[in-house]
Structure 1
Amino acid sequence: MRRYIAVFATVLALAACGDDAKQSNAPAGPAGAQLPKIDKLASLGAGEGAVNIVAWAGYAENGSNDPKVDWVTPFEKQTGCKANVKVAGTSDEMVTLMKTGDYDVVSASGDASLRLIYGGVVAPVNTDLVPNYKDVFDGLKNKAWNSVGGASYGVPHGRGANLLMYRTDVVKPAPTSWDVVFDANSPYKGKVTAYDSPIYIADAALYLMKHKPELGIKNPYALDDKQFTAAVDLLKGQQKVIGEYWSDYTKEVQAFKAGNSVLGTTWQVIANLAEADKAPVEAILPSEGATGWSDTWMIAAKAKHPNCGYLWMNHIISPEANAAVAEWFGEAPSNKLACAKTADPQHCTTYHADDESYYGQVWYWTTPVADCVDGRTDVKCKDYSEWTKAWTSIKG
């Protein structure tokens, strides 16, 4: 488990993306936005000798963090394309960097992908030019966070769920529902934790979707005024029992180890690390399901090195590289053949890589926009700017 520490020490906020497998794949841009007409690459030519990459920490390792962790050097040797990697700490930073025109590919998260697509920053991807795409799990292809109007805008990288973690020696009986984190009279007051991001509003919406069906919530990222108010009010009530909000994984590991936090949202890799540090914790997928994340490799509309960009996208989802990234980062790989390549033979089992029934309960993070992504046209939904304002008021 210690191999995760080097990569996550630089990750302060992971904003990944998505939408449930059952969700509509209709266009979901900002209100009134028109999808830019951008042609996808028709054929692959010779590599240009370089590729400029914007990536989350741990997605493009070249051996500098750990000599044994290197899938960039093999790519450079095989293709002749030098990989110039810029690590971004947030999705906003990724969007800003891609808008400069200096980068060819990006490992975009869902709160960035629609902005990049409708902003004309990225181009549709010709998946026929990405041979390894055929082996990507079907549950990650042509979804609302990586395609629009039937056109693919990216190559899936990996995925994970936002789980409920609790200390088994303190929280009894063992929880099965998210209701334990939303209990305003919680006996664990001051020791409940939650993810520090506006996108966490979707967790409250998901809970309400299951427990207050009269609100009519069909998608936790598509909230009209009444639904949004209900979710915000639920989180304001929760704030009274929150000990701390987390975005830095190391702080959550230490908080659970010390007992300062005993209950709250987590990622599987955090649970693994806490267990490795002898903390008595368990992480579950509650009865309501959960939010989650999946990142997507996208190519710039005006890429200066499009051929090397395509070669990179094909390489990074190859069985060998995808397995290496998944283990180093702590996620389920996107390539189904990667499961046979992981050093830990149980990795894909731990992360439910091939369990579509499991991920069918996960609503992957996606950008809330005014045009409701649940298909409603008679109302407007709260966009991400409204979520951001509300999050500030929730935290007080």
Structure 2
Amino acid sequence: MKKTSVLLASAALATALSAPVQAGDPDFLVFDWAGFEVEGILQGFIDKNGDRPSYSFYGDDDEAYQKLASGFKADVAHPCSQMVSKYRDAGLIEPWDVSKIPAYATIDPKFLKSKIFADDEGVWFIPTDWGASAIAYNPEEVPAEDVASLQVFTNPKYAGRMSLPNSSDDVWALAYLATGVTDWTEVTEEQFEAAAAWLREVHPNVLSYWNDPSEQAQTMASGEVLISWSWNDGVAYLRADNYPVEFQREAAEGSSTFICGYVNLKDGPGAEEKAYDFMNSWLRPESAPALLEAIGYGHSSLTAMESIPMEEQVAAGIGPIDAPILPQVPNDPELRERQLAEFEKIKAGF
């Protein structure tokens, strides 16, 4: 495929993000990250209801939360795990009735451990997809030894040729890993300050903070960026267009993982039963290959993942690794807000 395909994909995504809704079923609206409207995931919903869901898109978790907290109405939303407590505390969500979602029982138990996700009041969050945050790089211009450590982001050799996500969670996961922390549920003041200092050291080297994977892929496809802290989907987009890219999850200090899923929004404008049709469609075994092919993510269902050969999982960057991992599990909400505020200062040069 030609270079223009990534550029056009990025332009199409920008259009999607600027549009309020991608029209589909008028009785069901999904508030989601762009890129997850994958037909193979939605096929069960389409078969039952005759149309795709309608979609409204956002670029990051905090943007989504602020819009919903300000009164925007949708039926379900797709936060990552560390945001669920904010949705609960703000009274924006209600529990799922998992008796209506038979495949809930197939979800990998490691994704269900938090009491924030499920308690005596019910199930508040249904994990559906997971991925990694790691180093994406152009192997034709960056030797593998240069990305053997996360300290590559401080290397002046690549000043102005690297990008980071405009996502506080992912950037802080990187900074904690780079300064020796693999568990952000127990962060000391000294560890926070060390991670913040590291991000300030990196900031002058950063060409851009990308807002979505297509934007990231575009800057790498153009040659502007050689090294990026990336999710799986940015790498998947580049590989689909035959760009040279590798995904280094085994840097000496490690890499990060995240889990995302769906919450049932309170007072949604659509038909409640269609929220269950949607979740049942997502958790079908057939959804896992479609998810992996489209954006390189893993599925939360053990049954679904059994359909994907391990070599394909490894190639996509979701296989087992021999390196430290910082899981982006729910952490202290006050720490998260502090990280968010500090990240804004760092981006502004302070």
Place the TM-score, normalised by the shorter chain, in its bin.
0.7 to 0.9
For 2:34, the equivalent position in structure 1 comes to 57
Q: Give 1:256's match in structure 2, choosing from 201, 205, 220.
A: 220
Q: CA deviation at 1:116?
A: 0.7
For 1:246, the equivalent position in structure 2 comes to 210
* 1-structure distance, mates of 2:61, 2:297: 18
Secondary structure in 1 matching 2:13: coil
Q: CA deviation at 1:127?
A: 2.9
Secondary structure in 2 matching 1:108: coil
Query: Per the alignment, do residues 195 and 148 of structure 1 end up closer, same or farther by CA in structure 2, a change over 3 Å counting?
Result: farther
User: Alpha carbon RMSD of aligned pairs, Å?
Assistant: 3.7
For 2:105, the equivalent position in structure 1 comes to 134
Query: Per the alignment, do residues 327 and 96 of structure 1 end up closer, same or farther by CA in structure 2, a change over 3 Å counting?
Result: same
For 1:108, the equivalent position in structure 2 comes to 79
For 2:293, the equivalent position in structure 1 comes to 327
Deviations 1:347-389 (A, max 9, x none): 4343355x4667982422646522xxxxxxxxxxx341x3233
Q: Give 1:313's match in structure 2, choosing from 258, 275, 279.
A: 279
Q: CA deviation at 1:296?
A: 1.1
Q: Give 1:282's match in structure 2, choosing from 233, 246, 249.
A: 246
Q: Give 1:180's match in structure 2, choosing from 152, 163, 166.
A: 152
Q: Give 1:298's match in structure 2, choosing from 253, 263, 278.
A: 263
* 1-structure distance, mates of 2:245, 2:66: 38
For 1:338, the equivalent position in structure 2 comes to 304
**Kept in 2: contact 1:101–1:303 (CA 8 A):** no
Query: Per the alignment, do residues 350 and 338 of structure 1 end up closer, same or farther by CA in structure 2, a change over 3 Å counting?
Result: farther
TM-score (norm 2): 0.77
Q: CA deviation at 1:263?
A: 2.3
For 2:231, the equivalent position in structure 1 comes to 267
* 1-structure distance, mates of 2:184, 2:14: 25
Secondary structure in 2 matching 1:115: helix
Count of residue correspondences: 331
**Kept in 2: contact 1:132–1:317 (CA 8 A):** yes
Secondary structure in 2 matching 1:168: coil
Deviations 1:82-121 (A, max 9, x none): 8343333332443345454843322222353221112222
Query: Per the alignment, do residues 277 and 296 of structure 1 end up closer, same or farther by CA in structure 2, a change over 3 Å counting?
Result: closer
* 1-structure distance, mates of 2:158, 2:32: 38
* 2-structure distance, mates of 1:177, 1:288: 6
* 2-structure distance, mates of 1:125, 1:313: 10
Write the mapping of 1:153-232 to structure 2, written as runs, cut at 5 A. Answer: 153-172=124-143, 174=145, 175-183=147-155, 186-199=156-169, 200-208=171-179, 210=180, 217=181, 219-220=183-184, 222-232=186-196
Q: Give 2:339's match in structure 1, choosing from 368, 382, 387.
A: 387
**Kept in 2: contact 1:123–1:153 (CA 8 A):** yes
Secondary structure in 1 matching 2:233: helix
Gaps of 5+ in 1: 15-48, 62-68, 211-216, 371-381
Matched AA of 1:59? F
* 2-structure distance, mates of 1:172, 1:284: 12
Q: CA deviation at 1:224?
A: 4.3
Matched AA of 2:150? W
Secondary structure in 1 matching 2:184: coil
- Aligned-pair identity in percent equals 19
TM-score (norm 1): 0.70
**Kept in 2: contact 1:202–1:221 (CA 8 A):** no
* 1-structure distance, mates of 2:186, 2:295: 30
Larger Rg over CA atoms: 1
* 2-structure distance, mates of 1:98, 1:221: 26
**Kept in 2: contact 1:156–1:334 (CA 8 A):** yes
Matched AA of 2:280? N
* 1-structure distance, mates of 2:113, 2:341: 31
